[in-house]
């Protein structure tokens, strides 16, 4: 970047956007525009990259400047000054730590002085224990401030069950306002992927059947519906990205808005990119609104006077919503977690209900043993062409990891596996491992998210050992195909 603030025309779009936003933040910081600065910095994670990935963009100088600006505009507390548990100053300190638009290194260090977390990357520490501490604290302004920040901070994240308890605590204190509800449900969009239970599923997952003695769920549901109504009144891809999707909103007004959007009666902004499906997604979501029996009767009567195409569109959307609700109900059914493997404890349980397993701890499971028996006796170092890096099938699971909730899994591998199968195919080359994963039974889709991990979605839930077995079968098939293409015989 030159002294005039211009950009290299050859820069990729993400880097250029990063630099453009940085120049904007720099100008706002120099004029003391804290509100504008906060909005701009928040756009980094929305438009460019999550904070914990920023340092992988080869923009070290720019990231360092962003952190310096954030620490100057919002000075973080000193990690060495963290009050001990039970101190009357602890809530104030914790709220000050969370009150920043970006998880800088200094702010993250301050956070880790008051919370224990397995993941210390920027923005990734789990705040559930801090949430419980705030919920249990005596009434005081600092407690309310901390409860609010726990719902919206980018410095860490509060798991969904803990976030639901924070909302309930705010309701009990008479502080559950529209701003808190919006903060909780829009921040929820970044916690995990859309196939996992969301905050709305945790709070409203059993419909109206749960007792509500304090009126919390009733009050929250009313504010939730108003939030969705507000975020969809001027259709725009950014607002749609922030809109909570579960549960569906309630009332025929949402169905009519969806039809107005579909027919063009409600103007909508252009998509964020060519082929952006946000309008179709919004139409399906709005037309799938929850309706009472009386509302369904009223809607049917109103639709009789509408064109056939509109009636069919509503019917399609409502069937899709019913199918999605049935799937959520299956996932929420009480009983053992669907990822669970008999007699094997996960290496780590995640706040959203997912769990991580090292492959080496699942080798005795029947599905894994059978998959290993089907594998080549030795996985040759086809990629590195060095026998030293070959892997015996008995050792393969030591380099594999699975993590998921039973419906969606992240499959990762250690560096050693990169010698036996290509994990970073070049442009135009077949991604054999991704293809083989996608071809496994019960797999809906497989996505090579990064060189060493894949995201796999299933059409039915599977325990972790059965997912690992499919992973091993995919590795075996990819390895055999790579060997065939190279004219190398394997010891099967």
Q: Is 413 helix (H, G, I), strand (E, B) or coil?
A: strand
Number of neighbouring beta carbons within 10 Å of residue 112: 16
9, pLDDT greater than 50 = no
pLDDT score of 336: 58
pLDDT score of 424: 80
Which residues in 319-418 belong to E strands, given as ranges? Answer: 348-349, 355-358, 378-379, 391-392, 400-404, 408-413
456, pLDDT greater than 60 = yes
Under the banding of pLDDT at 50, 70 and 90, the label for residue 274 is confident
Under the banding of pLDDT at 50, 70 and 90, the label for residue 334 is very low
- Taking the model in full, what pTM does it have? 0.65
pLDDT score of 1: 37
451, pLDDT greater than 60 = yes
117, pLDDT greater than 50 = yes
pLDDT score of 4: 36
Task: Give 180-220 pLDDT, tens digit per residue.
Answer: 999 999 887 655 444 566 888 888 865 555 678 899 999 99
For residue 444, what is the enclosing H or E element? strand 443-450
2, pLDDT greater than 50 = no
> Which of the four CATH numbers 3.90.76, 3.90.550, 3.30.70, 2.40.128 does domain 354-486 have?
3.90.76
| CA pair distance 22, 44, nearest whole angstrom | 9
DSSP readout, 354-379? Answer: -EEEEGGGGTTSHHHHHHHHHS-SEE
Beta bridge partners of 348: 356
pLDDT score of 309: 95
pLDDT score of 5: 40
Under the banding of pLDDT at 50, 70 and 90, the label for residue 296 is very high
């Amino acid at each position: 970047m030159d002294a005039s603030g211009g950009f290299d025309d050859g820069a990729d779009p993400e880097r250029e956007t990063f630099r453009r936003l940085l120049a904007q933040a720099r100008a706002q910081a120099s004029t003391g525009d804290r509100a504008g600065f906060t909005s701009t910095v928040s756009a980094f994670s929305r438009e460019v990259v999550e904070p914990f990935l920023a340092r992988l963009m080869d923009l070290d100088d720019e990231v360092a400047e962003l952190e310096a600006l954030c620490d100057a505009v919002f000075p973080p507390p000193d990690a060495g000054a963290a009050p001990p548990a039970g101190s009357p100053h602890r809530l104030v300190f914790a709220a000050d730590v969370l009150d920043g638009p970006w998880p800088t290194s200094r702010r993250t260090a301050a956070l880790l002085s008051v919370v224990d977390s397995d993941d210390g990357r920027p923005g990734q520490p789990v705040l559930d224990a801090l949430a419980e501490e705030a919920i249990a604290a005596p009434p005081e302004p600092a407690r309310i401030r901390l409860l609010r920040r726990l719902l919206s901070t980018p410095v860490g994240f509060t798991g969904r069950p803990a976030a639901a308890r924070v909302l309930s605590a705010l309701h009990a204190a008479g502080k559950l306002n529209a701003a808190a509800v919006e903060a909780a449900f829009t921040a929820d969009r970044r916690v995990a992927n859309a196939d996992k239970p969301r905050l709305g599923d945790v709070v409203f997952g059993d419909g109206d059947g749960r007792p509500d003695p304090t009126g919390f769920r009733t009050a929250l549901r009313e504010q939730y519906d108003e939030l969705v109504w507000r975020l969809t009144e001027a259709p725009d891809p950014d607002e749609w990205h922030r809109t909570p999707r579960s549960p569906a909103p309630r009332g025929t007004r949402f169905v009519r808005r969806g039809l107005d959007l579909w027919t063009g009666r409600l103007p909508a902004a252009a998509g964020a990119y060519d082929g952006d499906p946000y309008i179709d997604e919004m139409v399906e979501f709005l037309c799938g609104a929850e309706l009472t029996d009386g509302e369904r009767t009223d809607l049917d009567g109103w639709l009789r006077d509408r064109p056939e195409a509109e009636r069919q569109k509503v019917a399609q959307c409502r069937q899709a919503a019913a199918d999605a609700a049935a799937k959520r109900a299956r996932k929420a059914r009480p009983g053992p977690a669907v990822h669970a493997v008999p007699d094997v404890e996960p290496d780590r349980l995640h706040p959203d209900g997912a769990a991580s397993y090292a492959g080496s701890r699942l080798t005795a499971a029947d599905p894994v043993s059978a998959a290993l028996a089907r594998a080549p006796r030795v996985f040759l170092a086809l990629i590195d062409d060095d026998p030293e890096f070959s892997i015996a099938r008995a050792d393969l699971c030591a380099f594999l990891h699975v993590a998921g909730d039973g419906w969606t899994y992240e499959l990762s591998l250690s560096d050693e596996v990169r010698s036996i199968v290509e994990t970073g195919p070049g442009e135009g080359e077949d991604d054999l491992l991704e293809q083989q994963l996608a071809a496994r039974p019960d797999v809906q889709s497989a996505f090579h998210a990064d060189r060493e991990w894949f995201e796999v979605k299933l059409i039915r839930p599977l325990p972790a050992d059965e997912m690992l077995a499919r992973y091993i079968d995919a590795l075996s098939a990819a390895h055999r195909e790579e060997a065939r293409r190279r004219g190398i015989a394997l010891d099967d």
